[in-house]
Amino acid sequence: MAEEMEKKPKYTAIVLAAGSGTRMGSPVKKQYMELCGLPVVVHSLRQFEENPQISSVVLVTGKEDLQYALSMSLKYELHKVKNIVEGGDMRFRSVYNGLRAVDPDTDYLLIHDGARPMLSQELIDRCCREVAIAKACVAAVPVKDTIKRADKEGFAAETLDRSALYSVQTPQAFSYPLFVEAYRKLLHTIQEYHPDVSKITDDAMIVEGMTDRKIRLIPGDYRNIKITTPEDMLVAEAFLQWKNTLES
């Protein structure tokens, strides 16, 4: 008798584009600024669109941009963008709103900053491969600078051991049931203790704090920068032009 075919795991991406971009300070929000002819967020949406492992994408935007995001997904033929949902006032709330729109049939989630346009197929593939093993993994690169901790007066208090320090990027990938459990616990904790939720700057922190699961750091990419301040646009443009020359 033929062996039963193993079900192919289902990967869903949540792409976050609901921030207000205060550090960029531009009239158009950074995730919608034009970068080499496309809105910043469309660059990573296209990478998910092209990747055969990704079944669907949930796009999280500001309430005022829902309509724009819909026309953008039609214009650029982003067929995998099945849901466009309203974000929240903090990143983790935007993730939560995205999470509620995820098909419960999903096995693994890849959460990605819409402000990181330099996502590559290799990095998506690596996340998909590693999360199936580790259940929780984040793209990270070794820091290049020496990092010091400052005291309250602005003096160097301590130099950290650089060999153990990483800059964390996205995608951050998790098993779907694990991530749902972490969020359920987080929401309970918030109701009971009012912790300082403004300190939550990535998704892995929630899984670290709420479950026993260890987060695997997997190789990210120095090119996978987050557009944060105006000069980042120049850097991203240079990377994209370089990539185009390599491909043509």
Residues engaged in binding ligand CTP (CB under 6 A): 16-23, 31, 60, 87-91, 94, 113-115, 226, 228
* Closer CB to ligand CTP, 120 or 132, in the complex: 120
The vertex-128 CA angle with 125 and 132, nearest 5°, equals 145
* Closer CB to ligand CTP, 134 or 171, in the complex: 171
Give me the residue label for tokens 């944060």.
Answer: 228
CA distance 169 to 24: 18
Question: Closest distance between ligand CTP and the C-beta of residue 173, in Å?
Answer: 16
Annotate 159-190 with b (16+ C-beta within 10 A) or e (fewer).
eeeeeeeebbbbbbbbbbebbbbbbeebeeee
Question: Closest distance between ligand CTP and the C-beta of residue 200, in Å?
Answer: 11
Pairing of strands 34-35, 108-113: unpaired
Alpha helices, DSSP H, located in 51-102 = 66-75, 91-100
Contact between 178 and 172 (Cβ < 8 Å): no
Question: Closest distance between ligand CTP and the C-beta of residue 86, in Å?
Answer: 10
Question: Closest distance between ligand CTP and the C-beta of residue 87, in Å?
Answer: 4
* 99 phi and psi angles, rounded to 5 deg: -60, -40
Question: Closest distance between ligand CTP and the C-beta of residue 191, in Å?
Answer: 20
* Closer CB to ligand CTP, 39 or 87, in the complex: 87
Contact between 118 and 47 (Cβ < 8 Å): no
CA distance 34 to 233: 9
Question: Closest distance between ligand CTP and the C-beta of residue 17, in Å?
Answer: 5
CA distance 76 to 56: 15
Report which residue's Cβ sits closest to ligand CTP.
Answer: 19
CA distance 105 to 107: 7
Question: Closest distance between ligand CTP and the C-beta of residue 246, in Å?
Answer: 26
* Closer CB to ligand CTP, 17 or 134, in the complex: 17
* Closer CB to ligand CTP, 78 or 115, in the complex: 115
* Closer CB to ligand CTP, 167 or 228, in the complex: 228
* Closer CB to ligand CTP, 70 or 132, in the complex: 70
Q: Other CB atoms closer than 10 Å to residue 80's CB: what's the count?
A: 19
